[in-house]
C-alpha cells in the first residue's frame, strides 16, 4: 500500500563538501545512447562521469518510513540497511556476518545467546553505542504504542509477547551484562535466531528517539541521511566514522521512479547507475548486443508457486495435486513469460541455500500422466477449481497460461482476479482452491520457506495457505529449527523438502533471478540474493585500479 504524498521535505543542513558537489550535480552530463553502447562493449574503459554519487533506480515508490521499528516494505528496508546496523547483518551472497556484535556464543540447550559487542562505535550524532540500546530498541519495537508492522522476528525472545500485549514494559529475556556484553534468552531454542537479528526491524537505534525519527533517522550505519525529497529521491552521505568498510564514494542517491520507461530513459542518458529490467523486457535486452553488455544477473531468494488448498474437495487427494503439477508446462511459462529468469522448482528451498536438493527433478509436463492420476483418484472427467491471482500484469499472464495448461488435462480453472489484499484475505480464510503467489525470503535460510509456507502451525494467516498438515513433516521441521549443528540441520531440511514435494501442496513453478543493467563505469556491485544484502559500501565509479 502506497503512502499518501507528504508535505515539504525535511532537509538536514550539514552537507559535507563532497555531498554538496553530489547535491549540485543532481544529474550527470547527458550521454547519448550510442556512446553508452560503446561503453558497454568496453565495460570499464570508459570516461568516468564527473560525479562522486552512486545513483540507484530500483525503487518505484517512496519508502513508507526510515524508522526501523516500522519498516515493513522493501524500499524502507533497503534504506534502513544503509543507515543502521543490527547485531548481525546479511551480505550480498546471503551470508550472515557480525554487525554490531563482534561474536556470540550459544548455550548447550540453544536458548541463551551471549553477544560481545563492538567498542568505540558511535551513532551518526556522536552518541556512543552501548549494550543497553539493544534492549531499549527491542522494547520499543515490541511496545504497543510503536505499532510495528514486523514485530515477529523478536517473538522468540523470552517475554516478548508480554510486551506486545501490554502486560510488561521491560523485556525479561534481554540482560545487559555490561556496556559491551548482552545476553538474550529465548522462549525455546531457535537455530536461525542470529539471522532474524539481521532484519531491518532489529536495527539498533539511540536511547532517545524523537517523534520525527523517520524524517531524521540516526543510526550507526555506513551512510547518513542528507535529504529525503519524498516521491523523488533520498540522498545519503558517506559515514567517515563507520566501524566497518567505509563506502568508497562520497554519496548515494536512491531515486524513486514509478514508470519503468522513465527509468530506462534515465539509464540511457547516464543519469542512473543501476536499472532493474522488467520481465517483459528481458529478451529485448538479452538479444540486443549493445544492451546485453550492460546486464548482470543473480538468483534471488524468491519462489513462484501456486498454493493448493489441500482441504477443498478433490484437492485433498495428493494424486490430484500431483496431476496439477504434471499438467502445467512450467519451462515454457518460465521462458516465454518470464524471459527465462529463474530455475525450475523441485521443492521450496532455493538452490543457493543449504538443504536444497539440486539433483531432484521437477514434476515435468505430462498431460497423459496427469489425466491418469485424476482417474485413479476418482475423477475421470476432470475437476473444476478457482484460480486466484492479484491484478499485477505479470501474475495475470502467468495465471492465464496455467489455466490453459490445466484445461488440457481436464482441469477446468476459473480465473478470479482481485486486488492483492482481497486475494490475500481469501487465501488466508481458506476460500480459494488455487492461489498464484510468490514468496520473498525475509532471511537467508531454508527454514524461512519450510516453516512459514507449509508448517501446520502456520495454516491460514501464518502463510501456509495450502493448509498443508503433515505431522511427520512438522516433526522434521521442528527438529531442524532447534538443531545447532549445521550439517544435521541441513540434512533435516532436505528430508522435509522431499516429503512435502511428494505430497504436492502446491504447483512448483520456479525460483526467480534478478536482472539489472549496470553502467560500465560501475565496479564492485553484487546482485543481492535478499533485498537488504547490498549496502553499496564496496561499489565505486571506476575500475578497482582507478
User: For residue 438, what pLDDT is reported?
Assistant: 96
196-210 burial string, b = 16+ CB within 10 Å, else e?
bbbbbbbbbbbeebe
Question: CA–CA separation, 47 vs 26, rounded Å?
Answer: 19
43 burial (CB, 10 Å; 0-12 / 13-18 / 19+) is: middle
In percent, how much of the chain has pLDDT > 70?
Answer: 90
Kindly report the number of other CB atoms within 10 A of residue 279's CB atom. 18
Question: CA–CA separation, 57 vs 150, rounded Å?
Answer: 25
User: For residue 37, what pLDDT is reported?
Assistant: 41
Of 12, 14, 45, 19, nearest in space to 519 by CA: 45
Question: CA–CA separation, 539 vs 249, rounded Å?
Answer: 8
| Of residues 497 and 39, more confidently modeled | 497
**Parallel, antiparallel, or unpaired for β 181-185 and 174-178?**
antiparallel
Q: Is the pLDDT confidence value at 41 over 50?
A: no
Confidence class for position 545, pLDDT limits 50, 70, 90: low
Chain segment 248-273, per-residue pLDDT in tens: 999 999 999 999 999 999 999 999 99
Confidence class for position 50, pLDDT limits 50, 70, 90: confident
Q: Is the dihedral of CA 56, 60, 62, 67 positive or negative?
A: negative
User: For residue 18, what pLDDT is reported?
Assistant: 38
Q: Average pLDDT in the 439-446 region? A: 96
Chain segment 339-381, per-residue pLDDT in tens: 999 999 999 999 999 999 999 999 999 999 999 999 999 999 9
Confidence class for position 279, pLDDT limits 50, 70, 90: confident
Orientation angle between helical segments 393-408 and 318-327, nearest 10 degrees: 110
User: For residue 27, what pLDDT is reported?
Assistant: 36
Confidence class for position 418, pLDDT limits 50, 70, 90: very high
Chain segment 61-96, per-residue pLDDT in tens: 999 999 999 999 999 999 999 999 999 999 999 999
Of 328, 323, 302, 355, nearest in space to 498 by CA: 355
Average pLDDT, the chain: 91
Amino acid at each position: 500500500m502506497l503512502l499518501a504524498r507528504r508535505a515539504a521535505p525535511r532537509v538536514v543542513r550539514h552537507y559535507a563538501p563532497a555531498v554538496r558537489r553530489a547535491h549540485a550535480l543532481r544529474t550527470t552530463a547527458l550521454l547519448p545512447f550510442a556512446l553508452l553502447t560503446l561503453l558497454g562493449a568496453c565495460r570499464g574503459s570508459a570516461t568516468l562521469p564527473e560525479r562522486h554519487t552512486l545513483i540507484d533506480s530500483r525503487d518505484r515508490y517512496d519508502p513508507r518510513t526510515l524508522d526501523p521499528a516500522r519498516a515493513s516494505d522493501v524500499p524502507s528496508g533497503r534504506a534502513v540497511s544503509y543507515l543502521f546496523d543490527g547485531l548481525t547483518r546479511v551480505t550480498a551472497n546471503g551470508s550472515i556476518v557480525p554487525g554490531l556484535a563482534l561474536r556470540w556464543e550459544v548455550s548447550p540447550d540453544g536458548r541463551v545467546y551471549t553477544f560481545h559487542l563492538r567498542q568505540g562505535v558511535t551513532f551518526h550524532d556522536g552518541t556512543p553505542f552501548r549494550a543497553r540500546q539493544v534492549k531499549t530498541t527491542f522494547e520499543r519495537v515490541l511496545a504497543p504504542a510503536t505499532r510495528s508492522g514486523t514485530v515477529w522476528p523478536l517473538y522468540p525472545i523470552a517475554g516478548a509477547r508480554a510486551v506486545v500485549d501490554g502486560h510488561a514494559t521491560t523485556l525479561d529475556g534481554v540482560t545487559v551484562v555490561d556496556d559491551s556484553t548482552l545476553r538474550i534468552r529465548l522462549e525455546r531454542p531457535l537455530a536461525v535466531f542470529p539471522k532474524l537479528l539481521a532484519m531491518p526491524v532489529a536495527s539498533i537505534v539511540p536511547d532517545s528517539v524523537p517523534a520525527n525519527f523517520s524524517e531524521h533517522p540516526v543510526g550507526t550505519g555506513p551512510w547518513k541521511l542528507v535529504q529525503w525529497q519524498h516521491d523523488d529521491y533520498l540522498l545519503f552521505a558517506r559515514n567517515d566514522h563507520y566501524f566497518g568498510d567505509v563506502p568508497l564514494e562520497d554519496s548515494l542517491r536512491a531515486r524513486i521512479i514509478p514508470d519503468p520507461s522513465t527509468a530506462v530513459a534515465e539509464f540511457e542518458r547516464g543519469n542512473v547507475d543501476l536499472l532493474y529490467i522488467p520481465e517483459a523486457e528481458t529478451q529485448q535486452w538479452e538479444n540486443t548486443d549493445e544492451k546485453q553488455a550492460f546486464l548482470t544477473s543473480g538468483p534471488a531468494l524468491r519462489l513462484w508457486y501456486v498454493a493448493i488448498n489441500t482441504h477443498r474437495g478433490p484437492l485433498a487427494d495428493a494424486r490430484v495435486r500431483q496431476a496439477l503439477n504434471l499438467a502445467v508446462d512450467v519451462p515454457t511459462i518460465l521462458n516465454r513469460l518470464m524471459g527465462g529468469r529463474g530455475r525450475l522448482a523441485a521443492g521450496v528451498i532455493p538452490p543457493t541455500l543449504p538443504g536444497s536438493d539440486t539433483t531432484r527433478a521437477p514434476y515435468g509436463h505430462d498431460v497423459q500422466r496427469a489425466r491418469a492420476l485424476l482417474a485413479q483418484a476418482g475423477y475421470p472427467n476432470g475437476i473444476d477449481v478457482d484460480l486466484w491471482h492479484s491484478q499485477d500484469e505479470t501474475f495475470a499472464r502467468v495465471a492465464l497460461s496455467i489455466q490453459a495448461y490445466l484445461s488440457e488435462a481436464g482441469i477446468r480453472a476459473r480465473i478470479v482476479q482481485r486486488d492483492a489484499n482481497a486475494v490475500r484475505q481469501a487465501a488466508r480464510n481458506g476460500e480459494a482452491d488455487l492461489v498464484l503467489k510468490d514468496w520473498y525470503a525475509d532471511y537467508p535460510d531454508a527454514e524461512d520457506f519450510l516453516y512459514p509456507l507449509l508448517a501446520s502451525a502456520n495454516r491460514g494467516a501464518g502463510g501456509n495457505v495450502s493448509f498443508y498438515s503433515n505431522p511427520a513433516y512438522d516433526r522434521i521441521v521442528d527438529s531442524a529449527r532447534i538443531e545447532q549443528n549445521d550439517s544435521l540441520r541441513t540434512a533435516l531440511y532436505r528430508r522435509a523438502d522431499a516429503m512435502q514435494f511428494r505430497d504436492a501442496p502446491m504447483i512448483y513453478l520456479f525460483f526467480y533471478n534478478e536482472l539489472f543493467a549496470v553502467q560500465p563505469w560501475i565496479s564492485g556491485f553484487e546482485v543481492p540474493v535478499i533485498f537488504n544484502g547490498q549496502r553499496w559500501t564496496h561499489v565505486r565509479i571506476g575500475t578497482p585500479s582507478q
